[in-house]
């Protein structure tokens, strides 16, 4: 039975990945900061899907937490989902530098280190999969969040190219606006976002895992966002910045 480790596993896309992979008979290792919520999530998954679920409470923005998860990944996982992430309250450059560095540590350093921890075992077994959750924001310009997610996309493509093994799949997942706790936690006003732009977490995960199976290195779920990203690459940067600032982070 394959083992999947998922960070940020108790809500949103992380919880959707856990449900989907459990339904595919994967043993799970769930990582999040809230120990009580982890235990509750694990109990629900065990009851519904009958799979083994291990919980690992850890804050990936701390050296202690990141090192603990790194160590568990080195023990061997078949699927790694780097999903944990957050958005800062406020706009650059008003956000405190400590908060910006914390975001970069989670979005970039944690993704880098956990990917590197997973790869030796995957190369030895000649198989494996790594999904790094980025965002459609990676293709636009909107503060440190979009910059960090652009790094995730570039890193995932570069890592897949350097590994050069089609049996070890590395992919950046780039969803648009998803109905999760993300925006509430960041205290973001989403009232200006049109209803048709919202996606369901389960749909994003289903399409993302389909693209992973097809060997894609970047997945933009949903035709609406495929079109938005494609157009965004063609329009002048000035117009792109204006639209990005109007729609929101």
Residue 216 belongs to a domain with what CATH number?
A: 3.40.50.720
Give per-residue pLDDT as tens, 71-123: 999 999 999 999 999 988 887 888 999 999 999 999 999 999 999 999 999 99
Per the structure block, which two tokens stand in for 198?
């919202």
**What is the total count of domains within the chain?**
1
Residues 174 and 38: their CA atoms lie apart, in Å, by: 25
- Burial zone of 186 (CB within 10 Å; 0-12 exposed, 13-18 middle, 19+ buried): middle
Q: Going by C-beta distance under 8 Å and a sequence separation of 6 or more, which residues neighbour residue 110?
A: 7, 60, 61, 66, 69, 82, 84
Q: Quick check: is 242 catalytic?
A: no
Q: Which two tokens stand for residue 116?
A: 């590197």
Question: What number of other Cβ atoms are within 10 A of residue 85's Cβ?
Answer: 24
Report the distance separating Cα 106 and Cα 112, nearest Å.
Answer: 10
Per-residue confidence band for 186, with pLDDT thresholds at 50, 70 and 90: very low
Q: What mean pLDDT, rounded, does the chain reach?
A: 91
The tokens describing 3, both together, are: 């083992």
Give the model confidence (pLDDT) of 127-167 as tens digits.
999 999 999 999 988 789 999 999 999 999 999 999 999 99
Look at residue 194 and tell me whether its pLDDT is greater than 80.
no
106 within 8 A of 86, measured Cβ to Cβ: yes
Using a 10 angstrom Cβ sphere, with 0-12 exposed, 13-18 middle and 19 or more buried, the burial of residue 80 is buried
Confidence class of residue 237 from pLDDT cuts 50, 70 and 90? low
- The boundaries of the domain holding residue 124 are 3-247
Q: Say whether pTM exceeds 0.85.
A: yes
Burial 115-148 (b: 16+ CB within 10 A, else e): bebbbebbeeeeebbbbbbbbbbbbbebbbbbbb
Residue 5 backbone dihedrals phi, psi, to 5 degrees: -105, 130
């Amino acid at each position: 039975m394959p083992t999947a480790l998922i960070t940020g596993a108790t809500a949103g896309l992380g919880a959707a990945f856990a449900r989907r992979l459990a339904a595919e008979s994967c043993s799970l290792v769930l990582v999040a900061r809230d120990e009580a919520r982890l235990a509750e999530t694990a109990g629900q998954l065990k009851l519904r899907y009958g799979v083994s679920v291990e919980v690992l409470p850890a804050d990936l923005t701390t050296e202690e937490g990141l090192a603990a998860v790194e160590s568990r990944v080195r023990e061997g996982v078949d699927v790694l989902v780097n999903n944990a992430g957050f958005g800062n309250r406020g706009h650059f450059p008003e956000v405190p530098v400590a908060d910006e560095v914390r975001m970069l540590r989670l979005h970039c350093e944690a993704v880098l280190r956990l990917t590197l921890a997973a790869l030796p075992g995957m190369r030895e077994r000649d198989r494996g999969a790594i999904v790094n959750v980025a965002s459609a924001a990676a293709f636009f310009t909107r503060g440190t969040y979009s910059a960090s997610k652009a790094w995730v996309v570039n890193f995932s493509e570069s890592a897949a190219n350097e590994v050069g093994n089609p049996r070890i799949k590395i992919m950046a997942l780039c969803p648009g606006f998803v109905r999760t706790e993300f925006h509430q936690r960041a205290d973001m006003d989403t009232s200006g976002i049109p209803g048709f732009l919202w996606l369901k977490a389960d749909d994003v995960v289903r399409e993302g895992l389909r693209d992973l199976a097809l060997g894609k290195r970047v997945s933009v779920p949903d035709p609406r966002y495929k079109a938005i990203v494609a157009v965004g690459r063609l329009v002048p940067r000035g117009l792109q910045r204006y639209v990005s600032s109007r729609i929101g982070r």
